[in-house]
């Protein structure tokens, strides 16, 4: 798709779209505020000291009245908003001039390292975020943006980085880190569902990332079998030029997941050139179907995720076939995101054997139901995210370094009906690792060897999300002739 900044081809259509959103906003705001009356565990603790029992009793009816009164205006806005989805490209693109430019890679020559981060940031409207024991979306997006850019700001002042990490001889590449790496080349986020949050995050990151793809997904009934009221939540920022981007919506979401346009975002980036040929990389970011609680039909949700991975692999191949040029050197091909299944739960055994793990390599995985000794879970126990032991990045890091801390503060494995199964994992206990960064090598005119320098479990988003971010650093070298 053409990488223009606006999702629309002209300002008139963009203006009509904005008008439709303004007409829908009063009903949207009232609904969100009604859902936001539910308290997080932190708010419950705070209100014990300052009780306010009349808040819901007084505010609730007023919000309900506003919702009813705004319905005619919302209906008018819906009639304007829905048809415009057919003219909207399913993502927005921002291109800015950053404070520093990455050096283009030239081959044959020395090797080069690339750093990737994937994180579920749970930026939903406040009322929906309460389902994950989170709220205060505006405050959280500001903190998330600040934490994501701290490493970038320090990297701009640092000396040139070494191509190797210092680590003990014989140690694995895994680590638990309290901060994001200072040199993240590609940032892939999930659950940036709220449009205002996405725009604010784009504003905060654009001084550091020249290329940003955001507001990804379709709305309404355009290209989907069910009404979509939320986008895909996918968000991608890159230091390197984006050559092409494409989004596909998963057609098989059910229940509450069917209201969001979850799908796959595929991006081709240019990294440099070798003997007149392009050096490119591929990034594929996704968010799979989420479990719907404990249910005897949990296996149906597993099948949905399995089918989504199958569709994703097919779309990846079609995208790469469509945008490849003869002689391209593919430096990396990364598939990442929130997969919503782990490699230790008996309830996720179907997804654990998917073909994606034969096409792509998981640095944390030995095989089905077996991870590397240094791998830990990435899904937190959402009811415990405000406890003192996990309240800051440093405290969360120290807690997760201990098996006792992981048992208490990470979500435990699940059975085939979706029920918790604390006894399923062995020792050391790891928890549910549902956030992945996979990679694969491609044959090319100039062969490259790929080495995993570091895989990080990053606690920097403590208090801002119910997920632990993950980071991957790949070192690519020309293969010896």
User: Could you give the count of Cα atoms lying within 13 Å of 212 in the half-sphere of its Cβ?
Assistant: 23
Rg of the chain, C-alpha, whole Å: 22
- Rounded Cα–Cα distance for residues 468 and 118 (Å): 9
For 26, the token pair is: 């009063």
- Continuous segment of H or E residues that includes residue 299: helix 298-323
Q: Is 467 a catalytic residue?
A: yes
- Rounded Cα–Cα distance for residues 91 and 103 (Å): 27
- State the Cα torsion 342-345-349-353 to the nearest 10°: 40
For 430, which DSSP code? Answer: -
Is the distance from CB of 348 to CB of 342 less than 8 angstroms? Answer: yes
Instruction: Assign residue 344 a region (left: φ > 0; alpha: ψ between -120 and 50; beta: otherwise).
Output: alpha
Q: What are phi and psi of 324, to 5 degrees?
A: -75, 145
For 111, the token pair is: 């090797």
- Rounded Cα–Cα distance for residues 374 and 396 (Å): 16
Helices (H) then strands (E): counts for the chain:
11, 16
248, 289, 442, 467: the catalytic one is 467
What is the distance of C-alpha 419 from the center of its chain? 25
Catalogue the active-site residues.
Answer: 467
């Amino acid at each position: 798709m053409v990488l223009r900044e606006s999702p629309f081809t002209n300002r008139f259509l963009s203006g009509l779209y904005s008008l439709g959103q303004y007409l829908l906003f009063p009903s949207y705001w009232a609904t969100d505020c009604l859902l936001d009356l539910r308290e997080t565990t932190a708010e419950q603790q705070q209100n014990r000291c300052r009780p306010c029992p009349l808040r819901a009793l007084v505010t609730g009816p007023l919000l309900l009245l506003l919702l009813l009164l705004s319905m005619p205006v919302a209906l008018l806005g819906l009639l304007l908003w829905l048809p415009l989805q057919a003219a909207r490209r399913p993502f927005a693109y921002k291109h800015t001039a950053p404070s520093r430019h990455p050096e283009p890679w030239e081959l044959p020559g020395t090797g080069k390292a690339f750093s990737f981060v994937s994180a579920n940031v749970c930026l939903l409207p406040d009322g929906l975020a309460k389902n994950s024991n989170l709220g205060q979306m505006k405050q959280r997006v500001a903190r998330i943006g600040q934490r994501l850019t701290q490493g970038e700001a320090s990297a701009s002042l640092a000396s040139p980085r070494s191509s190797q990490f210092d680590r003990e001889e014989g140690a694995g590449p895994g680590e638990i880190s309290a901060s994001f790496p200072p040199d993240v080349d590609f940032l892939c986020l999930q659950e940036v569902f709220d449009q205002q949050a996405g725009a604010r995050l784009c504003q905060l990151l654009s001084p550091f990332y020249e290329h940003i793809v955001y507001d990804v997904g379709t709305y309404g009934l355009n290209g989907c079998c069910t009404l979509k009221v939320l986008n895909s939540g996918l968000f991608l920022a890159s230091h390197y030029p984006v050559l092409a981007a494409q989004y596909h919506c998963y057609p098989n979401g059910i229940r509450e997941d069917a209201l969001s346009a979850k799908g796959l975002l595929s991006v081709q980036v240019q990294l440099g050139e070798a003997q007149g040929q392009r050096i490119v990389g591929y990034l594929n970011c996704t968010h799979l179907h989420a479990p719907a609680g404990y249910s005897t039909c949990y296996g149906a949700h597993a099948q949905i995720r399995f089918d989504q991975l199958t569709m994703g692999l097919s779309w990846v191949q079609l995208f790469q076939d469509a945008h490849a040029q003869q002689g391209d050197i593919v430096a990396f091909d990364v598939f990442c995101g929130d997969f919503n299944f782990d490699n230790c739960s008996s309830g996720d055994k179907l997804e654990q054997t998917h073909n994606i793990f034969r096409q792509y390599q998981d640095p944390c995985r030995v095989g089905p139901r077996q991870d590397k000794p240094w791998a830990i879970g990435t899904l937190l126990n959402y009811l415990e995210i405000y406890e003192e032991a996990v309240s800051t990045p440093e405290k969360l890091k120290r807690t997760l370094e201990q098996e006792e801390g992981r048992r208490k503060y990470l979500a435990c494995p699940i059975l085939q009906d979706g029920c918790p199964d604390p006894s399923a994992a062995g020792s050391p206990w790891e928890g549910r690792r549902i956030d992945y960064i996979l990679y694969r090598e491609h044959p090319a005119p100039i062969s490259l060897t790929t080495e995993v320098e570091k895989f990080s479990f990053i606690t920097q988003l403590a208090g801002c999300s119910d997920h632990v971010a993950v980071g991957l650093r790949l070192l690519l070298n020309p293969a010896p002739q």
